Amino acid sequence: MGLEIKKIGVFTSGGDSPGMNAAIRSVVRTCAYLKIECVGIYRGYQGMIEGDFKPLDARSVNNIINKGGTILKSARCEEFRTAEGRKKAHEQLVKEGIDAFVVIGGNGSFGGALVFNEEFNFPVMGIPGTIDNDILGSTYTIGFDTAINTVVEAIDKIRDTASSHNRLFFVEVMGRDVGHIALNAGVGAGAEEILIPEQNLGLERLLDSLKRSKKSGKSSSIVIVAEGDRIGKNVFELKEYVEEHLPIYDVRVSVLGHMQRGGNPTCFDRVLASRMGVKAVESLLEGKSNYMVGIRDNNLILTPISEAIKAHTDIDKELIRVSDIMTT
């Protein structure tokens, strides 16, 4: 193990996700275990620029593994996109004696870390924390499992009221660029149709499917719509369109919104975050830098950040097929 890293900074950046606290805890406890110092950087890159730091020991992360959100707060920071802002951040890290950092966040946060590493040759390691599950190099990101369980729970409740009134519900879920939440939660909750950014099913198919569903005697219908769906209409416009073309339906809309980011992390996310935190710190101490920790086939792997941020992960074609079959 390289000996030059004595103090590691850890922070959360971009949109928060359940399980970020478990990842922070893991980084802090791994540092304590390996007898190196750990410093919490508050509010992401903004706090780095402002020197908003606090030493964290093993006990300072008691009782956070089960909490949603992030104790270190998260932020978006325009100043860090400028060379001047990054210079300030570097000066603060040097002043504090921080030798390397672990960033827990999404693509944008990793992009910032990559530029920072290139400019200052500063060791960085990424942990994917986002509910969208859209990062190359990891089958799962921290927070995704919790988010889909939250969505399934909400849809189960919506279904209760939908079937009592023979209603059709359009439920909008997060996913501007990727449909992982919509597809997984949709299959898990037994949705009739799932509209995702990766494919445009077209309005005709939607109407046909709803007609079929009514004919077959279903007492309620749930259509999941990802925010970035390509059908060309938002959930409210879809409601109007269907009411106009299929007046047999009593249509309602539910936009789940930010509740999808909150809540106590599932056991899966807690375990994933704990494993990734250990791997991130150990990898830095082994002299590795500019990687993101990921998981594939239940093994932890490292992917160069430059690769991880290149594109979004592909949608699971097999799951789309399963969804099609289930809605027969």
The total number of residues written for the chain in this structure: 328
**How far is it, in rounded angstroms, from Cα 51 to Cα 49?**
6
Residues 171-230 that bind ligand ATP (CB under 6 A): none
Look-up of token digits 């959930």 = 235
Q: Residue 200, Cα to own-chain centre: how many angstroms?
A: 23
Residues 107-136 that bind ligand ATP (CB under 6 A): 107-109, 111-112, 115, 130, 132
**How far is it, in rounded angstroms, from Cα 98 to Cα 68?**
27
Q: Active-site residue among 132, 145, 229, 269?
A: 132
Look-up of token digits 């009739």 = 192
Per CB under 6 A, 13 contacts ligand ATP? yes
Per CB under 6 A, 92 contacts ligand ATP? no
Residues 285-324 that bind ligand ATP (CB under 6 A): none
Nearest by Cα to 5 from 290, 279, 289, 276: 289
Nearest-5° Cα angle at 207, 203 to 211 = 170
Residue 221 or 303: which CB sits closer to ligand ATP? 303
Member of 9, 14, 47, 143 binding ligand ATP (CB under 6 A): 14
Confirm if 251 and 239 have CB atoms less than 8 A apart: yes
Residue 79 or 243: which CB sits closer to ligand ATP? 79
Is 132 in the active site? yes
Per CB under 6 A, 143 contacts ligand ATP? no
Residue 104 or 168: which CB sits closer to ligand ATP? 104
Look-up of token digits 């979004």 = 312
Residues 57-76 that bind ligand ATP (CB under 6 A): 76
User: Which pair of structure tokens corresponds to residue 274?
Assistant: 């704990």
What are the φ/ψ torsions at residue 198 (nearest 5 degrees)?
-75, -20
Q: How far is the CB of 262 from ligand ATP (least distance, A)?
A: 14
Q: How far is the CB of 301 from ligand ATP (least distance, A)?
A: 20
Q: How far is the CB of 17 from ligand ATP (least distance, A)?
A: 8
**How far is it, in rounded angstroms, from Cα 242 to Cα 235?**
10
Residue 141 or 274: which CB sits closer to ligand ATP? 141
Query: Around Cβ 65, how many Cβ atoms within 10 Å?
Result: 19
Member of 42, 45, 122, 144 binding ligand ATP (CB under 6 A): 45
Residue of this chain nearest to ligand ATP (CB atom): 108
Residue 74 or 327: which CB sits closer to ligand ATP? 74
Per CB under 6 A, 105 contacts ligand ATP? yes
C-alpha distances in Å from residue 275, one per residue of 22, 38, 63, 295, 298? 10, 17, 17, 9, 11
Which residues form the interface with ligand ATP (CB under 6 A)? 13-15, 45, 76-77, 80-81, 105-109, 111-112, 115, 130, 132
Q: Which residues are known to be catalytic?
A: 132
